[in-house]
Structure 1
Amino acid sequence: MTNTWLPPVEYVETLPRATAYACLFFTDTAGRPFQIRASDRTRRWQWPGGNMDPGETPWETAVRECREETGMVFTGEQRLLGAHFLGDRGEEWPANHIGFIFDGGELTDEQIAAVVLDPGEHSEYSLRTLEEWQREMEPGDFARLAEIHEARRTGSTVYAEDRPGTG
């Protein structure tokens, strides 16, 4: 290790690359998590959210992406349920990816009925019990869902970590 001081622009070049995403976690009034299915090749279930744009905060990203992906205009309180770290996956995603999962609260039947998905990004939405989601999702994705659901229930915050080959 060297004690040579570097100007910030040069120092930043020595650090690992990372991108960030943010999303909102919703349930219905019965406590069933709300998720949307990606229409890309992965067809994964996920929460309304996406990658941060330059100059955006994670909170701004979560609210913007929710509106773009579902038509819902979220005006609730800002409450972080969890942070998620995904390690650099080489060519698949050549940077660390850091996520912020915020509490979107409970959706009413009327709000759910008013959801309008962007078909270019998502093909369907669903509300299911945890047991039903477990049968539908990859184990790592379901574990994160269950942790976030528990954080909401208990008022706590969780940290989830996926490294290449583990999540």
Structure 2
Amino acid sequence: MSFEKFKEADASEVPIGTYVQMISKSYSKYLNHKFNSIGLNSTQVSILFHIQFENNINQEKISKGCNINKGAVARSLKKLEDEGYLIREVDEDNRRQNIISLTKKGEETFKKIKEISRNYESRVLKNINKESLKELKELLKEIAIETVCINNEIEKNKA
């Protein structure tokens, strides 16, 4: 379907996943464009977000929380560590795991990421009133929680 036809389509006839995918791809493309100049991509940005919100976290939790495979997380963490955004320290409770936290550079970069994200959100949501936006975010949160629960069930059933 062309973008013009998509814009004219009856919203109730388009699956929610189509909208989510479109938003996600556009957001990733925007972030990749904005962070290209400092050598970050959307996967690395997601990882930095996750570490910021749950500091002193291990690689497995990052992988699950970001829904990114362990290999991609390992490669991204290595690059982020080499570039000084984060540090890994051996977990004293489980010496086979590393605890990951942001460095000062990582924290400063996170502030820039947040500002860029806020600017993007403001631009994208400029025509939505505050009440509708609050409701939209609550609905999206519910949908996100449910999708994670469904994926967790799938993972559990694989074992």
Q: TM-score range by the shorter chain?
A: under 0.3
Q: TM-score, normalised by structure 2?
A: 0.27
Q: TM-score, normalised by structure 1?
A: 0.26
Name whichever structure is richer in helix by fraction: 2
Name whichever structure is richer in strand by fraction: 1
